[in-house]
A and B are shown apart, each in its own frame.
Chain A
Amino acid sequence: MWTARIYVTLKPGVLDAQGDTVRSALETLGFKGLADVRVGKFMVLTLNGLTQKEATAQVEEMCKRLLANPVIEDYRFELEEAAG
C-alpha cells in the first residue's frame, strides 16, 4: 500500500491572487520579511496492489491528466509505503 502526497501550485509566472492576499494578512499581523506567499492544493491518495514503480507512474499520469492543469499549474508528489 502506498500513500501519495501531491502538491499542486500555480506556476511561478502566474499571479496568485490568494497568495498575495494571505501575504498582506500576515503582514497585518506584524510578520516581517515575507518575500512571497503561494497558496496551492495538497492531496493525499492511497494506492493498493501496485509496485512502487507502477504507483509512481500512475500518480504521474493522474497529475498530468486531471489533478493539475499544465497550462497554469506545477505539481510534485512524494510516494511513501503505508501500513496496510
Chain B
Amino acid sequence: MRFGIVVFPGSWSHQDFYHVIVNVLQEEACYLWHKEADLHDSDCVILPGGFAHGDYLRSGAIARLSPVMRAVAAFAESGGLVLGSCNGFQVLTEAGLLPGALLANDCLHYRCRWVHLRTESRQTPFTSAMQPGQVVRMPISHGDGRYYIDQTGWKRLIDGDQIIFRYCDQTGALTNDANPNGSLDSIAGICNERRNVLGLMPHPERAAEPILGSEDGGLMFASILDAFVRSPLTTCGDRA
C-alpha cells in the first residue's frame, strides 16, 4: 500500500509518518510537495502536523489553498482515504472536507503531553482494528486544538456517528481535566459523512512503537491497511 504524505512549508510530522509507514509497517510512502497537484498514485493521503505557512491568519487557512489540496479534495470525493493529524486536521476543516473549526486552546497554553482517547466508533477505515470503546493513548502537541461546531452541526455529527475520538481519563470517563484544550463535547477526532476522511488532533504516528511508550496509534495504521487489503478499489479511490 502506498501512502502519500503532504508536505507544506512548516510541516513537521511528515518524517515521523514516513518512518512509521516505511520502517515499522514496511509499506511504501512518498512525500507530496504542496505545490504539486499530483498524488502520485497514493492509496491513502496523510496531512501531517506542523505549522503550514506559519499558521498565518488561522491554522490551515493558507494551506488549504495549495495546489495539492485540489487533488486531495478530488481524491476524497472519489472515496480515497485521507487522514489529517493535528495541523492536518486544521487544514481539513479550513478546506471544508470536515465540518467545524479548531480554536486556540481554552487554557491558552501550547499543550504537549500524552492523552487518553475513547474510541467512539469503529465504523471507519481508520479505527476498525480497535475494540469498541477502547481507550487508547497518544500524544498531543498543539496550541489550536479546541474543536468547535455550532449546535446544528454538533447534532449532525452525533446522529451520523461521526465523532470518532473523545478525550477521556484512563478509565474512559469524560472529565474536564481530561479535556486538554476545551474542545466541545471532548471531541478529539471526527470523520466526514462518507467516513473516508478523518481528522484528529493527537499524533498516531508518535505512538506506533513500544520504544515511544505506546503502540496504540499503530491500530489506526493497521485499520487502514486492513481496509485496503479488503477493498483496495472501492475504499481507496476510484482507480478503474
Contacts and interface: CB of A to CB of B under 8 A. Distances in A.
A67 B146 CA distance: 20
Interface stretch (B11-19, B77-85, B98-106, B126-134): B98-106
Interface of B is mostly: loop
Contacts of B229: none
B148 interface: yes
Contacts of B57: 66-67
A17 B148 contact: no
Interface string B87-111: 0000001100001110111111000
A58 interface: no
- The size bracket of the interface on A is 10 to 19
Interface residues of B, number: 20
Contacts of A67: 57
Contacts, number: 37
Given A71-B100, A72-B103, A66 B61 contact: yes
A13 B61 CA distance: 22
Interface string B47-67: 000000000011001000100
B80 to A, nearest CB: 24
A13 B101 CA distance: 14
Contacts of A66: 57, 61, 65
Given A69-B58, A71-B149, A17 B105 contact: yes
B104 A17 contact: yes
6 contacts: A10-B103, A15-B106, A15-B182, A17-B103, A17-B104, A18-B104
Given A10-B103, A71-B101, 9 more contacts: A17-B104, A17-B105, A18-B108, A66-B61, A69-B61, A69-B94, A69-B101, A71-B148, A72-B148
